[in-house]
């Protein structure tokens, strides 16, 4: 056990050291914005989003390629596939996800994931007024803004250490703003997972080597459309800094055929000081917690809380907000249907909440031999 603890400690320390060294180098530049490629941090899967995105120590199906690639070896069937659709802001934003995974042998597994977040049918009304000064609705053109990511994941057991696996994901990013601009990016995620005596531990290092996204701007599209004093955007490179998620979970047997799964994660961002419970110029830490109660491994009720933020109200005072989530799932004969509901308070004025951003998530999974 002492040997295993040393290995886990070494892996965690090595990942954090490498990531923070990269952060120190990258932060000396001016192209490391906060929330870069943030569409990849919204989350996937009805089970995960119903538990407040607490998954780094839990994911053991095709979604592990996204949450923690080391979890792919926990898959219980030969093949596993997951589809998800969710809508944000009253259906304006569509979030779609598909994944597939399979073990190669008893010591390794692979997975493929595809993520899309987009807003479609945006009206371009810049030419609405024709050359005679009249409105011409035929001049309206429509375009989409969408972000895509393809992740190819691999997981492998480490030597003879029981319960310890590592994994990695290479990801290709494509971002498109109609005919105005597009970007290509590439990054690497890494993870490890350790199971012992009923406990599960996980660590994911996203963008561990930083992710570079190169933007190409169609400057002709911005001619004669910018406001006075505004400059036309130019080609640029955006760097996404590492993000670490450390998690632990444990399943408990309850009376009858009930079970309870309790889990918690600590998400550590390195892109600058955030309004999180623990916040420094080098690293900000946001805790998450989730609970899943199951009956006969068929019906599941879930809840979670995440995204703790201290936001400033109209009066200038700062107040704490958190994002609660709830979910339900059914699993039978390899088929899994999961639904989740999440609500985020946007802010407040004079103590009154100004709005809610609601999200409804539906995912369908199927494991088969």
Q: What is the CATH number of the domain that holds 225?
A: 2.40.160.40
Provide the domain count of the chain: 1
CA pair distance 10, 88, nearest whole angstrom: 40
CA pair distance 361, 174, nearest whole angstrom: 23
CA pair distance 1, 151, nearest whole angstrom: 34
| CA torsion through residues 214, 219, 220, 222, sign | positive
**Quick one: tokens of 158?**
């480490």
Low-confidence ranges of the chain (pLDDT < 70): 1-30, 223-229, 313-315, 344-358
What's the residue count for the chain? 369
Tell me the helix, strand and coil percentages in the chain, rounded to 5: 15, 55, 30
Q: What's the pLDDT at 314?
A: 65
Q: What's the pLDDT at 108?
A: 95
Q: Are 146 and 116 in contact (CB under 8 A)?
A: yes
Query: What are 184-235's pLDDT values in tens digits?
Result: 999 999 999 999 888 999 999 999 999 999 999 988 877 666 555 677 788 8
Q: What's the pLDDT at 13?
A: 46
**Quick one: tokens of 119?**
């807003």
**Domain that residue 220 falls in:** 2-368
How many Å from the N-terminal Cα to the C-terminal Cα in the chain?
A: 34
Q: What's the pLDDT at 15?
A: 43
pTM for the whole structure: 0.85
* 184 contact partners, CB below 8 Å, separation of at least 6: 172, 173, 174, 213, 214
Q: What's the pLDDT at 259?
A: 96
Long-range contacts of 21-26 (CB under 8 A, 24+ apart): 22/208, 22/209, 22/210, 22/241, 22/242, 23/241, 23/242, 23/270, 23/282, 26/210, 26/239, 26/241
């Amino acid at each position: 056990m002492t040997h295993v603890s040393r290995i886990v400690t070494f892996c965690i320390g090595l990942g954090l050291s490498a990531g923070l060294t990269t952060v120190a180098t990258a932060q000396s530049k001016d192209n490391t914005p906060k929330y870069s490629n943030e569409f990849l941090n919204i989350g996937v899967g009805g089970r995960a989003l119903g538990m407040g995105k607490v998954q780094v120590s839990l994911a053991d199906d095709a979604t592990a390629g996204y949450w923690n690639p080391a979890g792919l070896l926990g898959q219980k069937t030969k093949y596993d596939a997951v589809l998800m659709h969710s809508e944000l802001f009253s259906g304006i934003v569509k979030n779609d996800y598909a994944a597939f995974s399979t073990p190669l042998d008893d010591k390794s597994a692979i997975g493929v994931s595809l993520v899309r977040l987009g807003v479609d049918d945006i009206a371009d009304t810049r030419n609405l007024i024709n050359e005679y000064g009249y409105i011409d609705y035929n001049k309206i053109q429509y375009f989409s803004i969408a972000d895509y990511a393809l992740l190819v994941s691999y997981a492998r057991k480490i030597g003879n250490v029981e319960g310890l696996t590592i994994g990695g994901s290479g990801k290709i990013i494509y971002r498109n703003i109609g005919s105005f601009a597009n970007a290509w990016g590439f990054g690497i995620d890494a993870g490890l997972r350790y199971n012992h005596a009923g406990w599960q531990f996980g660590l994911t290092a996203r963008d561990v080597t930083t992710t570079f996204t190169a933007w190409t701007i169609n400057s002709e599209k911005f001619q004669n459309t910018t406001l006075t004093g505004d400059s036309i955007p130019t080609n640029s490179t955006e760097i996404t800094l590492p993000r670490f998620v450390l998690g632990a979970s444990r399943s408990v047997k309850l009376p009858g055929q009930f079970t309870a799964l309790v889990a918690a994660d600590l998400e550590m961002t390195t892109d600058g000081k955030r309004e999180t419970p623990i916040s420094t110029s080098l690293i900000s830490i946001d805790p998450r917690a989730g609970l899943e109660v199951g009956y006969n491994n068929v019906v599941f009720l879930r809840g979670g809380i995440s995204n703790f933020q201290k936001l400033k109200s109209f009066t200038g005072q700062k107040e704490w907000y958190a994002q609660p989530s709830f979910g339900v799932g059914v699993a039978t004969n390899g088929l899994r249907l999961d639904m989740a509901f999440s609500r985020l308070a946007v802010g407040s004025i004079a103590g009154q909440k100004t709005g809610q951003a609601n999200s409804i998530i539906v995912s369908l999974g199927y494991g088969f031999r």
